[in-house]
Amino acid sequence: MYQTTLPVVGAGFRGRDEQLARIVRAVEKLRAGGSEWLALLGSRKVGKTSLLLEASRRLGDRVVFAVLDVLDHVPVTAEVIRLLVLRVVERVFARDCGQSLEATIDPASYRAALAGSARFARLPGDLRQLLLGLHDLHLTASALAVLIQIPERLAEALDLPIVVAIDEFQELADLRVGRPAHDVLPMLRSAWQKHRRVAYVISGSARRLMIDLVASPRSPFFGHFALLEVDAFAQADAIALLVEGAVPGHAVSRQLAARAVAIIGGNPFYLQLLGEQLAGLASPLDEGALKEALSRLLFHRTGRLAMFFEAELARVVGRSAQALAILEQLARAPGRPADLQAALRLSSSSAVNYLARLGDVIRRRADDRYELTDPVMALWLTWRAPGGAAVPMTVVGDEGERDVARALADLGFELVYQSKASRGAFDLLAIRAGVMVGVQVKRSALPLHFTAAAWNRMEAEARRLGWRWIATAASREGVVTFLDPAHGRRRKGVGLSSSSAIVNLLAWIDDASPPRRRR
Ligand SMILES: Nc1ncnc2c1ncn2[C@@H]1O[C@H](COP(=O)(O)OP(=O)(O)OP(=O)(O)O)[C@@H](O)[C@H]1O
Ligand SMILES: [Mg+2]
C-alpha cells in the first residue's frame, strides 16, 4: 500500500538505515551518560517526521522519545513549550495511567489520570506539584525557565533516558516570552547544555534558517548540534518503494519503477503519490500507464503533486509577478543574477533581492548559477509557464510525440496526454481557444496507413466527444506534417498522403464548422 497523507511508520517505512543508525547511536551514548544533540536537515516532504517517529518506534522501551511538530500548533507562541513538556509527560506516564494524558479534556481529569501512575507517586514533591499544575502555569519567563527543566528532572528521578525531538524547530527562532520580552532560544540553550540525561533532536525544512540556527556564530546554538542530512532516497530504495508498495493486481515491475525514478527522482513523497496514481490505473502497468500517471499527478491542474507545488509557489512568490518570472526563468535554465537582470530587465540590486527572497526554493551552484532546488518542481513550473505545453511529452513521450507536441505548442495549443491506458484512440488532446483536437501521432514518413478498425475508432471517438481530429506524421528528421482526415483514401484501410497535408492548422480549425456531437 502506498501512503501519502501522513508520516509513515512501521511496515510501510523504507530505507533510511544510515540515519536511523545515527539516531540509535546518539541514544546509546545517552544511556551511557553522554548527551548529544542532532539537527536533521531535509527539504519539504523528504521524510523528516517519518524518520523521527520511526526512530521512536524502533527504540521502544530503551528510551522515552517525545516528538512535537511545532507547525501543528500555529501561531507559534511560548505555549508550544508547555505542549512539549506535556508530550514528554505523555510519553513517560501514559502507559502507567492506561490512558492518554494529552487527550484529557480538562486540567482536573489530567490530574486525576496522572495520579493513577505509581511512578508519578514516587517523584519528589515539588516536581509532582509542578506536573499537576502544568496546565494552569502562567507563562512568564521564569515559569518557562522552570518548564524547560522538567524533562531532565524526570529523567533523573526515574532513571530514564529521554529524547526530546522538536520538528520544524526553525519556527521557534523568533519566539519571545514575558514582559519585558525574553528570547526563548538562549533560554533553551543555557538549560539544555546542563542536561545529561536528555538528548535534543531538532529538525526543519527551512534549510537556511536551520543552518543559521546551528552553524552561525551569532546563534545561541552555535556548534552544539551534529548535522544529519535527510536526502531523497538513493535509487535502490526509491525503486523498492514503488515495487514493494504495489497493491495486489497492480504489480509495478522493477523496470517501470527504475524508469519512474529516473524521471521524478527519489523524494519518497513524490514516489508514494506516483505509486498511488499508478495503482488507480488498469493493469498491466506499462510505459503508457506511467505516462498517464505522471500526467495526472504533475501535469494537470488538480494533480496532487501539481497542487503541492502550487501551494509552495504561492508561499514563496506571493503576489509578486517578478519573483514568479525569476523562478520560471531559472526553471528553464540556471542563471547568474546578471542573466536574470538582462532577461527580465531588472536592476542589479532587485535581481539580488529577489533571489534572496526566494529562499530555499533555489540554490546557488558551484558555477555561481542559481537553479531550482527541486528538479521536479522546475519541470512542473516550465510546464505551467506560457509555452510549456510540450514539457510532459519531452519527459515521458517518444521522439514522435515530442516533435508533434513541440509543433503544436508553438502554435499555442495546450496539450494533454491521451494514453492508451485510458483506452483512448488518440495520443494527444490539443486544446486551443476552447477547440479540442484529437491527435494521432505516427512516427513515420508519408503516406500514412491506418487499418479500417483504427480509423473507425478515431472517427467514432471524435464524434462522441465532440472533438475535431487530425493525424500527424513525424519523420525521423523531425519534420512534422499535420494531415486532414477528410482527405483519407479508403483502400484496404485508409491512407493519408502529402496531398492531405494541412498547411495552416490554425486557419483549418477556424474554417471548419464545429463537428456535431452524437445524440
Ligand atoms: N521512510 C519512508 N518510507 C516510505 N515513505 C516515506 C518515508 N519517508 C517519507 N515518506 C513519504 O513522504 C511523505 C512525507 O513524509 P514526512 O511527513 O515524514 O516528511 P517531512 O519531511 O516531515 O514533511 P514536511 O515537510 O511536510 O514536514 C509521507 O507521507 C510518505 O508518503
Ligand atoms: Mg514534517
Find the 45 Cα to ligand 1 centroid distance in Å.
5
Spacing, Cα 269 to ligand 1 middle (Å): 6
Inter-residue contact 279 to 2 (CB < 8 Å): yes
What is the pLDDT at residue 519?
A: 46
Give the pLDDT confidence score for residue 398 in this predicted structure.
86
pLDDT score of 147 more than 80: yes
In sequence order, the 6+-apart residues with CB closer than 8 A to the CB of 116 are 96, 97, 98
**Which pLDDT band, with edges at 50, 70 and 90, does 515 fall under?**
low
Per-residue pLDDT for 370 more than 50? yes
C-alpha to C-alpha distance for 141 and 139, rounded to whole angstroms = 7
Q: CATH topology for 13-229?
A: Rossmann fold (3.40.50)
- Ligand 2 centre from 490 Cα, in Å? 61
How sure is the predictor about 107, in pLDDT bands with cuts at 50, 70 and 90?
very high
Between the two ends of the chain, the Cα-to-Cα distance in Å is 42
Establish whether residue 35 lines the binding site of ligand 1, counting it when its CB lies within 6 angstroms of any ligand atom.
Answer: no
Give pLDDT tens digits for 19-65: 999 999 999 999 998 889 999 999 999 999 999 999 999 998 889 99
Q: What three-state secondary structure class fits 99?
A: coil
Q: Residue 345 corresponds to which cell in the numbers above?
A: 530587465
Query: What pLDDT was estimated at residue 207?
Result: 87
Q: Is the pLDDT of residue 242 over 60?
A: yes
42 Cα nearest atom in ligand 1:
21
Q: What is the mean pLDDT of residues 462-485?
A: 94
The predicted structure's pLDDT at residue 420: 58
Relative orientation angle of helices 79-97 and 141-158, to the nearest 10 degrees: 30
Alpha-carbon gap, residue 202 to 199, rounded angstroms:
10
pLDDT at 419: 62
Nearest CA to ligand 1 atom 31: 4
Whole-number pLDDT of residue 331: 96
Q: What is the pLDDT of residue 282?
A: 87
% of the chain surpassing 90 pLDDT = 82
485 lines ligand 1 (CB under 6 A): no
Q: Which residue would you say has higher pLDDT here, 396 or 500? A: 500
Average pLDDT rounded to a whole number, residues 114-126? 94
- Confidence grade of residue 423 (pLDDT, cut at 50, 70, 90): low
Q: Which ligand 1 atom is the nearest neighbour of the CA of 46?
A: 21
CA of 271 to the centre of ligand 1 (A): 10
The pLDDT of 430-455, averaged and rounded, is 93
pLDDT of res. 167: 93
Computed over every residue of the chain, the mean pLDDT equals: 92
Q: Is residue 491 predicted with pLDDT exceeding 90?
A: no
Residues around ligand 2, an ion, CB closer than 5 A: 49
Ligand at minimal distance from the CA of 245 is 1
pLDDT at 511: 82
Give the atom of ligand 1 at the shortest distance from the alpha carbon of 13.
3
pLDDT > 80? residue 422: no
Query: Which candidate, 37, 46, 404, 361, places its Cα nearest to that of 202?
Result: 37
What is the residue with the minimal CA distance to atom 6 of ligand 1? 268
| pLDDT bucket at 115, cuts 50 / 70 / 90 | very high
Q: What is the model's pTM?
A: 0.88
Percent above pLDDT 70 for the chain: 97
pLDDT average, residue stretch 382-409: 91
Classified by CATH at the fold level, domain 392-511 comes out as Trna Endonuclease; Chain: A, domain 1 (3.40.1350)
Task: Write the DSSP string, 110-145.
Answer: HHHHHHT-HHHHTS-HHHHHHHHTTTT----HHHHH
The response to whether residue 181 sits with its C-beta less than 6 Å from ligand 1 reads no
In this structure, the number of other CB atoms found within 10 A of the CB of residue 372 comes to: 22
- 45 CB near ligand 1 (under 6 Å): yes
Residue with cell 530505507: 15
CATH of 313-384, one of 1.20.1560.10, 1.10.10.10, 3.40.630.30, 3.40.50.740: 1.10.10.10
Distance 6 CA to ligand 1 centre (A): 7
At 189-210, the pLDDT tens digits run: 999 999 999 999 999 988 888 9
How many A from CA of 324 to the centre of ligand 2? 26
